[in-house]
Homo-oligomer: A and B are copies of this chain.
Amino acid sequence: MSELRSCETPSVIRKPYLLFLGDAQDQLAAKTACGVAQWRPEWCVGQFRLPGCRADVGLDDITLDHGMQLGAATLVIGVANRGGIVPAHWIDDFLQALDYGYDIANGLHQRLSDIPEIAHAANSKGRLLFDVRHPARAFQVGTGKKRSGRRVLTVGTDCSVGKMYTALALEKEMHRRGIKADFRATGQTGILIAGSGICIDAVVADFVSGAVEDLSPANEDDHWDIIEGQGSLFHASYAGVSLALLHGAQPDALVLCHEPTRRHMRGLPHFPLPDLACCLEANLTAARLTNPAVRCVGVSINTSGLEARAAARLLDEATRQMGVPATDPLREGVSVIVDQLGGLFESGRMAISPNGRSTAA
């Protein structure tokens, strides 16, 4: 069984947040804070930066003290650095934050609870430490038993192709339409954005599908869980995680995510990217084990590396090739995908083409 840690900790991070950017050397280092500020601006009272910080997520610069006055409950470490280690010169600020009354949520690899002075201060003051990369409790083995409620999972041709972004865009659009939907986070940035979740690749291998069943429990019949995918069935390092996630999620619908300028699988220069249709087929085939009715409702392509006309051509081509709408969530939104999702459960089942893809509404 995976390690049982801090099992007393509630699983939901308290809001609102003060985003800690530290002395991030560039905007990319503050990617996690950017994600939180972009998707949950209503939860963020401001950003807290140290001298020399070169990142800016566009929020007011405020102090720990000021953040408290604005009602902040949690200091969110939204900055990554080489090795995922907490630098020694951040510790005084964290101790001060605990002193003020903040909980701390940490997206770095190193656990705050492994830093004795921070663990001690949090314990003695009754503050919570959320080391979101490390599952805080044990999980059961997956059962594959059908659960009520509806589920859509974002899958990818590779790592880092927009699976979290697409899931969050789907949630936003579904909420706009008044559809009951929850983003279910499976990675550290997603967890800080959702306020809860499970860092699925840090779970002991035997329990990954069970952890996903736990993350997305039975729900109302018309409720959608939008589950953040991880990795790719075609990534030689992480495919096992992706498959366990697929089986645990029991998705009714898949959205295939892709980054067209990627030249090889992330971190593996000797592996080319899979073809879109082949990648989708592999995901559908595998997903049918726990949900034979699964189908694809859309393709999400990050076209930020392309000019507008090239992007439009690519999306048209993918729509024709795949038989489902292809869109760039940032350029065109995900309305066309949500239309498909709606169609899945309204007025009976949609027609399904022989390869298991849903036909356009």
Say yes or no: A240-B237 contact (C-beta < 8 A), given A201-B205, A205-B205, A271-B144. no
Q: How far is the CA of A237 from the CA of B205 in the complex (A)?
A: 10
Interface residues of A in 59-109 (CB under 8 A from B): 109
With a CB–CB cut-off of 8 A, which chain B residues contact A144?
Answer: 236-237, 268, 270-271
Query: Is the beta-carbon distance between A237 and B271 smaller than 8 angstroms?
Result: no
* Chain B residues with CB below 8 A from A286, complex form: 239
Evaluate whether A204 and B206 lie within 8 angstroms (CB atoms) in the complex, with A141-B237, A239-B247, A244-B240 already known. no
- A13 touches B (CB below 8 Å): no
A142 interface residue per 8 A CB criterion: yes
Q: Residues of B contacting A247 with CB < 8 Å? A: 236-237, 239-240
Q: Roughly how many angstroms separate A144 CA and B204 CA in the complex, as a whole number?
A: 21
Give min CB distance, A139 to chain B, whole Å. Answer: 11
Tell yes or no: A11 within 8 A of B by CB. no
What are the residues of chain B within 8 A of A209 when measuring CB–CB? 236-240
Interface residues of A in 209-249 (CB under 8 A from B): 209-210, 233-234, 236-245, 247
What 0/1 readout, one digit per residue, does chain A (194-211) give for beta carbons within 8 Å of chain B? 000000111111101110
Output the nearest chain B residue to A244 by Cβ-Cβ distance.
Answer: B240
C-beta contact mask, A284-327 vs B, less than 8 Å → 1, else 0? 01100110000000000000000000000000000000000000
Indicate if A3 sits at the interface (CB-CB under 8 A): yes
Residue-wise interface mask of A (256-300) relative to B, using a CB-CB cutoff of 8 A (1 in contact, 0 not)? 000000000001101100000000001001100110000000000
The 5 nearest A-B residue pairs measured at CB: A240-B244, A144-B236, A201-B206, A240-B240, A142-B237
* A and B contact pairs by CB, cutoff 8 A, 20 listed: A3-B3, A141-B238, A144-B237, A144-B268, A144-B271, A200-B205, A201-B204, A201-B205, A201-B206, A204-B204, A205-B208, A205-B240, A208-B240, A209-B239, A233-B243, A239-B289, A240-B240, A240-B241, A240-B245, A282-B285
